[in-house]
Chains A and B, each alone.
Chain A
Amino acid sequence: MKSARAMKKFIKFAGIPLAIFSVVLVVPFVNGAYYTFTDWDGFETTKLVGFSNYTKSFQDPTFWSTLRFTALFVVVSLILVNAVAFGLALIVTSQLRSKNFLRTFFFVPNLVGGVVLGVIWQFIFNSALVALANKYDWELFKQSWLQDTNKAFWALIIVTVWQSSGYMMIVYITGLVSIETDVLEASQIDGASPLRTLFTIKIPLMAQAFTIALFLTLRGGFMAYDVNVALTGGGPFRTTELISLHIFQDAFANGNFGTGQSKAVVMFLIVALAALVQVSVSKRYEVQR
């Protein structure tokens, strides 16, 4: 009797969301992992093929270069986004009277999607800067940054920092304002300089905000797709393809569903591992209060 009632409650409250969650997420996930061991061509499977999809993926030199490019992108964007975001958070929590006004502005790039900002910045790099460079004779911008692999990398980074630092700023603001004022006052009375207070009091006490912001940027870096498509489209010559775009191209443009899905599973494992390491390392720095 009791279990029947419990069952009814389970179905009423959890039935629909869990069913949708399973259909949309769990089933394709398990299915996709299974497909990588078969000769799946997007429509049907006839036999198991072992690890051959994985060996094929790793024999693909463009996959390796994509992985290297993505790793570099994730590391650089992680550092810069968080450094800038933390700086913004400090400005916005300072004594300035215009701080709310500034906060509004810093967050605005976050409102627009990757495609829109990709098109905006493509205009800036391809047209605006080039036109100005020719007019005033600036060597650096005479040729569009998006035509050159190294400069295109920095273009991707600039746009990513511009877009996501506002969001991370809010995460850091939350951390900064959660510090009790009596601790800060005590440090001031003890004569600690603002820098000293920042490094020995504020940062350790808000370590949780760092854990979250680092996790979000790490995940965002690996999953970046929109900016990549809209800004460089992977060009020149597929040298600026991040992993998401690479998988998309492999599967949907070239029809290699087997290797595309294997690469996607590899991507999942890398993200999961990186996130696990990052969270457990940064958790160690969190101070219990």
Chain B
Amino acid sequence: MKTRARWGKRATFIVGFTLAFAYVFPFFLVFVNSLKLKYDILENPLAIPVQITWENFQQAYTKMNFFRSLTNSIIITFFSVSLLIIFSSMLAYYLARTKTKLSKYIFLILVASMIVPFQALMIPFMARFAQFVSWNNRGALIFFYIGFGVALSTFLYHGFISNIPTEIDEAASIDGASDMVAFWRIIFPMMRPVTATVAIINALWIWNDFLLPRLVLTNESQTLPLSTYLFYGQYSIEYGQAMAGLVLAVIPIVIFYLILQKQFISGISAGAVK
């Protein structure tokens, strides 16, 4: 019995490591090839670089306007996520605490809206908002993200607020705190775990989103996924540059993930059970 268990453990270990290797291998391949000369890539994509070159990175950096794209990505993600947290926590608080028919219906509509695919909206959407977009495309994009993200975020907050006893609100209002003060000073700080979930789920989505920014943003305001797409049409000519571009595009989020790994995992799992 004991040896069987040990063999089982050994088998899991081997399977686990083989899979982990398969999951990261594509990234490794990209990294290795970003350091190679064009000829070496075509010769053997798997080999370790014979002669390391940083030229690919320099070219990719300028071509994709890395610093500008990174700044755009950070600005757009930061403002969208912060505003989503503020608005959806307030909305969820209102809906969870006001036991009227209206708030019940609003909540139902929000939940139902989550199965509407973006594709069902995008055509009238672009026709309707063309002017708004041309006036300030980054602002418009943030506005759209709030609209599309508010349902899920409110849903997550709603579940959490329902578990906070109403006595806390009542105590605050007896002490003379207004609704707003009570919410921001007392309720909101209690919701830190959901806030982390909401922040991570939305940040991952917005940081990596491609379709909406592609429709909305201009060249000057493009985000990292869009600037990576630049290499797409040309990749067959310059493998090395494309690989370097990918490394540059992936590094910020991977670093962020490695630092906040625990929060990522617990945030997503908290979001999954709602």
Interface residues of A (CB under 8 A from B): 6, 9-10, 12-14, 16-18, 20-21, 23-29, 31-32, 35, 42-43, 88, 91-92, 94-96, 98-99, 101-117, 119-124, 126-128, 131-132, 135, 162, 166-167, 170-171, 173-175, 178, 194, 208-209, 212-213, 219, 222-223, 225-226, 229-230, 243-244, 247-248, 251, 257, 260-261, 264-265, 267-268, 271-272, 275
Instruction: For residue A209, give the distance in angstroms from its CB to the closest CB of chain B.
Output: 7
Q: Which 4 A-B pairs have the closest CB atoms?
A: A24-B147, A113-B208, A13-B94, A174-B269
- Name the A residues within 8 Å of B170 (CB-CB): none
Known contacts: A105-B23, A111-B257. The answer to whether A35 contacts B124 by CB under 8 A is yes
Min CB distance B115 to A, Å, is 5
Contacts A116-B246, A268-B120; A208 near B228 (Cβ below 8 A):
no
The answer to whether A111 touches B150 (Cβ under 8 A) is: no
A279 to chain B minimum Cβ distance, whole angstroms, is 10
B232 touches A119 (CB 8 A): yes
**Interface Cβ pair total, 8 Å cutoff:** 260
Residues of the B chain whose Cβ atoms lie less than 8 Å from the Cβ of A21: 110, 113, 147, 150-151
Q: Given the complex of chains A and B, what is the CA–CA distance between A109 and B12 in angstroms?
A: 21
In the complex where A13-B91, A166-B23 touch, is A27 in contact with B209 (Cβ < 8 A)? Answer: no
Q: What residues of chain B lie closer than 8 Å to A10, measured between beta carbons?
A: 94, 98
Complex CA–CA separation, A223 to B264 (angstroms)? 24
B127 at the interface (CB under 8 A from A): yes
Q: Which of B196-222 contact A (CB under 8 A)?
A: 204, 207-211
| A9 and B119 form a contact (CB under 8 A) | no
How distant is the Cα of A150 from the Cα of B69 in the complex, in angstroms?
36
Q: Which residue of A lies closest to B143 (CB)?
A: A20
Residues of A contacting B179 in the complex (Cβ-Cβ under 8 angstroms): 9, 12-13
B interface size (C-beta, 8 A):
91
**Other-chain residue from A17, A18, A25, A178 in contact with B121 (beta carbon distance below 8 A):** A25
* Residues in A neighbouring B148, C-beta threshold 8 A: 24-25
Residues of A within 8 A of B235 (CB): 119, 122-123
Whose C-beta in chain A lies nearest to the C-beta of B179? Answer: A9
Inter-chain contact A108/B204, CB cutoff 8 Å? no
Which residues on the B side are within 8 Å of A243 (C-beta)? 119
- Choose one: B17, B44, B87, B120; the contact of A29 (CB below 8 Å): B120
Q: How far is the CA of A197 from the CA of B273 in the complex (A)?
A: 22
CB-CB nearest in chain B for A35: B124
- Please indicate the chain A residues that have their CB under 8 angstroms from the CB of B41 in the complex: 127
In the complex, what residue of chain A is closest to B180 when comparing beta carbons? Answer: A12
Complex CA–CA separation, A117 to B146 (angstroms) = 26
Q: What chain A residues lie within 8 Å of B128 (beta carbons)? A: 27-28, 31
Query: Do residues A28 and B121 form an inter-chain contact, with CB atoms below 8 A?
Result: yes
A residues near B209, Cβ cutoff 8 Å:
113
Q: By the criterion CB–CB under 8 Å, are A261 and B124 in contact?
A: yes
For A226, what are the chain B residues with a Cβ–Cβ distance below 8 Å?
A: 210-211
Q: Let me know if A244 and B20 touch, CB within 8 A.
A: no
Chain A hits for B257, CB < 8 A: 107-108, 111
